[in-house]
């Protein structure tokens, strides 16, 4: 099944990005359907994406190979109430809801294979990294099906479910850490006298280049950092300040806070 039929329940940011990625990856509009909650948003995504959008989540889910849950965690119980009875064990439910365990879906949809996934926003340019895990009824086939869908917006990695809240804190939330660093670096550059347009361009391209280098070589960040750090040099001076002021501990605390919030939001 090269292009399984897909219903995306929740036409928000992630739902729209996923459908856009599926279209770019060769899915035909007829293979896809979106379910929205409000008429205004339904009409908007239908117009933007050229894919049928409906207010009837159960109707959208019925008979589709993959049923993607792309609503906020707090909206999952209502949505499950709407689609229970319309989804069968021959379909795969693919949830993106942060923190919500697969058992929550299995309780509402008995016998249905459930795959839980955590993508991130670089999905907008098909550069997501999405971690996924299978629930109690998920087979290798359902995992492969989910991977096929998620690969439309980037790479995938399989992990055990108990790791998913940590994944939310690392890669799900991770782009925001880098954006915050970009903001701070830009402001620092301006304080060093650079014109704003130059500061912004220098920071954007530095992050893009460093990110691409990090994924292009096997040695990892420590090696790459050592490469640009000569004793007594400029990088050493900067890194000394960051280490001295507790940069690592700060990152660790931030990740812990995000993981704990993911658990709370999922009710775990
Ligand atoms: N954004 C990210 O970076 C990211 C990353 C990884 C995972 N996720 C997960 O992806 C999910 C969606 O996130 P998002 O950022 O796309 O949120 P979002 O923009 O708020 O989108 C959720 C959409 O679902 C709609 N909705 C809610 N209940 C519904 C129902 N019963 N039937 C149909 N539509 C319904 C909402 O409608 P309204 O327009 O009426 O509110 C909203 O448009 C979340 O669970 C989040 O944890 C997000």
Q: Give the tens place of pLDDT for each residue, 60-107.
A: 999 999 999 999 999 999 999 999 999 999 999 999 998 899 999 999
Give the atom of ligand 1 at the shortest distance from the alpha carbon of 13. 16
Predicted pLDDT of residue 267: 63
CA dihedral 8, 9, 14, 16 (to 10 degrees): 60
Residues 141, 195 within the same domain: no
Residues 97, 12 within the same domain: yes
Residues 106, 30 within the same domain: yes
Query: How far, in whole angstroms, is CA 112 from its chain's centroid?
Result: 23
Q: Could you tell which of 9, 13, 93 is best to mutate to test the pocket of ligand 1, judged by most ligand atoms within 8 Å of the CB?
A: 13
Sheet holding 114-118, edge to edge: 53-54, 32-35, 6-9, 66-69, 92-95, 114-118, 128-134, 154-158
User: 152 CA to middle of ligand 1, Å?
Assistant: 19
Residues 53, 98 within the same domain: yes
Give the atom of ligand 1 at the shortest distance from the alpha carbon of 35. 33
- For residues 43-53, average pLDDT: 97
Q: How many domains does the chain have?
A: 2
**What CATH number is attached to the domain comprising 40?**
3.40.50.720
pLDDT tens string 230-245: 888 999 999 999 999 9
Residue 1 forms part of a structural domain = no
Residue range(s) defining the domain that contains residue 80 = 6-160
Residues 6+ apart with CB under 8 A from 61: 7, 9, 35, 67, 83, 86, 87, 91
The residue whose CA has the least distance to atom 43 of ligand 1 is 12
Structural contact between residues 24 and 152, judged by C-beta atoms closer than 8 angstroms: yes
User: 10 CA to middle of ligand 1, Å?
Assistant: 5
Residue 92 forms part of a structural domain = yes
Cβ < 6 Å from ligand 1: which residues? 9-15, 35-38, 41, 57, 70-73, 75, 78-79, 82, 96-98, 118-121, 172
Residues 55, 90 within the same domain: yes
Residue 166 forms part of a structural domain = no
pTM: 0.93
pLDDT at 1 over 80: no
pLDDT at 255 over 90: yes
């Amino acid at each position: 099944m090269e292009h399984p039929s897909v219903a995306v329940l929740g036409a928000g940011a992630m739902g729209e990005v996923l459908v856009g990625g599926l279209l770019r990856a060769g899915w035909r509009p007829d293979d896809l359907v979106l379910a929205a909650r409000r008429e205004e948003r339904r009409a908007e995504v239908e117009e933007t994406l050229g894919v049928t959008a409906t207010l009837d989540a159960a109707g959208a889910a019925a008979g589709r190979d993959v049923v993607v849950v792309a609503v906020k965690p707090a909206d999952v119980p209502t949505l499950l109430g709407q689609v229970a009875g319309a989804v069968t064990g021959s379909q795969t439910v693919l949830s993106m809801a942060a923190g919500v365990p697969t058992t929550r879906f299995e309780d509402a949809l008995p016998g249905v294979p459930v795959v839980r996934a955590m993508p991130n926003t670089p999905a907008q340019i098909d550069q997501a990294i999405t971690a996924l895990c299978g629930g109690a009824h998920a087979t290798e086939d359902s995992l492969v099906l989910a991977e096929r869908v998620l690969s439309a917006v980037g790479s995938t990695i399989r992990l055990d479910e108990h790791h998913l809240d940590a994944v939310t804190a690392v890669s799900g939330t991770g782009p925001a850490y880098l954006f915050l660093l970009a903001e701070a670096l830009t402001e620092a550059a301006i304080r060093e006298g650079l014109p704003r347009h130059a500061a912004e361009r220098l920071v954007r391209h530095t992050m893009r280049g460093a990110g691409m280098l990090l994924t292009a070589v096997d040695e990892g960040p420590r090696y790459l950092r050592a490469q640009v750090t000569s004793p007594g040099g400029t990088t050493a001076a900067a890194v000394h300040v960051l280490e001295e002021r507790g940069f690592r501990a700060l990152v660790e605390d931030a990740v812990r806070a995000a993981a704990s919030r993911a658990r709370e939001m999922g009710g775990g």
